Amino acid sequence: MTQPKFKIKKGDTVQVTAGRNKGQRGTVKKVLLEDAKVVIEGVNVVVRNIRPDYRHPDGSYTKEMPIHVSNVSLIDPTTDKPAKVGYKLNEGGKKVRYFKKSGTVL
């Protein structure tokens, strides 16, 4: 089975478009291809309670949980708004991502 391809990559700035974190922005830390999810820095943060130990003396820690890739959208730096992304070939024949509305290449 082949891995699915997403238009969102690690390091991209994205905005959440659906769910309880709608409107929040952050940088993609990890892309989970098998589950079609992304982990975004500072978004969808939950608190986990555990038995206290030397690493977590207060008995809790925060963790960023994954969000489905369909619920996030890339931010176009020219307009500073979420935008759709497509693929095209540049002058060198290399496949690049670009924003469909503004034409800006990522």
Structural domains in the chain, CATH included, are 13-76 (2.30.30.30)
Per-residue pLDDT for 6 more than 90? no
**What 3-state class would DSSP assign to 69?**
helix
Residue 91's pLDDT is: 87
Token pair recorded at residue 88: 């095209």
Residues 75-84, mean pLDDT to the nearest whole number: 93
Taking only the tens place, the pLDDT of each residue in 8-36 is: 999 999 999 999 999 999 999 999 999 99
Per-residue pLDDT for 3 more than 80? no
Residues 43-56, mean pLDDT to the nearest whole number: 94
Token pair recorded at residue 91: 């002058």
Residue 106's pLDDT is: 84
- The CA radius of gyration of the chain, in Å to the nearest whole number, is 17
